[in-house]
Amino acid sequence: MLMFDLHCHSLFSDGELLPSELVRRVEVKGYKAIAITDHADASNIDLIIPRLCRLADAMQNVCSTILVPGIEITHVPPDLINEVVQTSRRLGARLVVCHGETVVEPVHPGTNKAALEAGVDILAHPGLIQAEDVELAAQKGIFLELSGRKGHSLTNGHVARLAKRYGAKLIINSDGHAPSDFMSDKFARTVGRGAGLDSTEVEVVYEEVWDWLKKRILR
């Protein structure tokens, strides 16, 4: 089983669990890696990232699930996204996610494009993303998310269809906030199938993300 989740939240933002408990919850589900990507803007990235980095170092040899310290840039005005992304990386974030233009929240128009131009790793729940932005994601090798979260998942089919058309990479994440949000291996793959991918395409998604993780994050 190749199972991981690169978008979830602890009580450092609006999640329910301490980071250590979150990791333990997914460890017993068989996850190989988990990225904690709490919601952040310029006001709190310096509080979240160093603490997650310290925990990741401490748990490295005592846990079978690898903790990846990340961040989710959330509701930041597009003109400020690049600065926050670069600051996040300087602070030690191994994975930078941007909260995309989901149809269930009033995200600033232009957020998807600004995040892609800033070079985030994952554009989360990008909503009714424009074709030109999908092309940009493909050019930059940025993952577009298929979300397992209620509301954000409404546009998964749109995202998958355009990603396949333009060759953009996909990732399946829970956007988990509570214990019940973390998906089983079977359910995560069902999210991919529900977005219009066949079983072979779902496996390719997981293999591509895992290869990227090993080369870029887990080295």
Looking at residue 148, what is its pLDDT? 97
Q: Is the pLDDT of residue 29 over 80?
A: yes
Q: What is the pLDDT of residues 86-118, one digit of tens each?
A: 999 999 999 999 999 999 999 999 999 999 999
| Enclosing H/E stretch for 5 | strand 4-8
Mean of per-residue pLDDT scores for the chain: 97
Model's pTM, two decimal places? Answer: 0.97
Band of the pLDDT at 1, cuts 50, 70, 90?
low
20 vs 6: CA distance, rounded Å: 16
**CATH code (residue 108):** 3.20.20.140
Task: Let me know: does 9 contact 38? Beta carbons within 8 Å.
Answer: yes
Between CA 44 and CA 47, with CA 45 as vertex, the angle to 5 degrees is 65
Mean pLDDT of 30-48: 97
Among residues 93, 98, 97, the alpha carbon closest in space to that of 76 is found at 98
pLDDT category at 218 given cuts 50, 70, 90 is confident
Helix (H, G, I), strand (E, B) or coil at 76: coil
Q: What is the pLDDT of residues 132-171, one digit of tens each?
A: 999 999 999 999 999 999 999 999 999 999 999 999 999 9
Question: Residue 46: pLDDT above 80?
Answer: yes
Domain of residue 115 covers 4-217
Q: Which helix (H) or strand (E) holds 68?
A: strand 66-73
Count of helices and strands (H, E) across the chain:
8, 8
| 216 band by pLDDT with thresholds 50, 70 and 90 | confident
Which one, of 210, 182, 203, lies nearest residue 27 by Cα? 182
Question: What is the tally of structural domains in the chain?
Answer: 1
Burial of 94 (0-12, 13-18, 19+ CB in 10 A): buried
User: What is the rounded average pLDDT of the residues 42-50?
Assistant: 97
Average pLDDT over residues 76-93: 98
Q: With both helix axes pointing from N to C terminus, report the angle between 131-140 and 111-118 in degrees, rounded to the nearest 10.
A: 10
* Mean pLDDT, rounded, for 68-93: 98
Task: Please check the confidence at residue 82 and state whether its pLDDT lies above 80.
Answer: yes
